[in-house]
């Protein structure tokens, strides 16, 4: 985890502003982040950053997860992509 990411997490936790965590990409960063989160903060991890992975991760977090069919697009989550 970068120093900037650590500072950001520290600030969010100190001021009780972190509502949930979604982390994409690195399982190593995930282990670092998750070890610092209080148990009551929901968190989810995905290796992928593509819209389908984001839709599954956010669906899991918000309780509406369902598998996408082959070729199905996560267009409803398009705003969360970079």
Q: pLDDT by residue (tens digit) across 34-78? A: 999 999 999 999 988 888 888 888 888 887 655 555 455 555 444
Q: Domain spans of the chain?
A: 3-80
For the entire predicted model, the pTM comes to 0.68
Mapping DSSP to helix (H, G, I), strand (E, B) and coil, where does residue 22 land? Answer: strand
**Residues, the chain, total?**
82
Angstrom distance (rounded) from CA 30 to CA 41: 14
């Amino acid at each position: 985890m970068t120093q900037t990411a650590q500072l950001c997490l520290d600030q969010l936790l100190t001021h009780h502003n972190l509502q949930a965590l979604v982390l994409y990409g690195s399982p190593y960063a995930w282990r670092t982040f998750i070890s610092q989160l209080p148990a009551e903060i929901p968190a989810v991890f995905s290796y992928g950053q593509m819209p389908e992975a984001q839709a599954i991760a956010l669906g899991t977090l918000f309780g509406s997860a369902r598998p996408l069919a082959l070729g199905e697009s996560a267009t409803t989550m398009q705003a969360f992509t970079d």
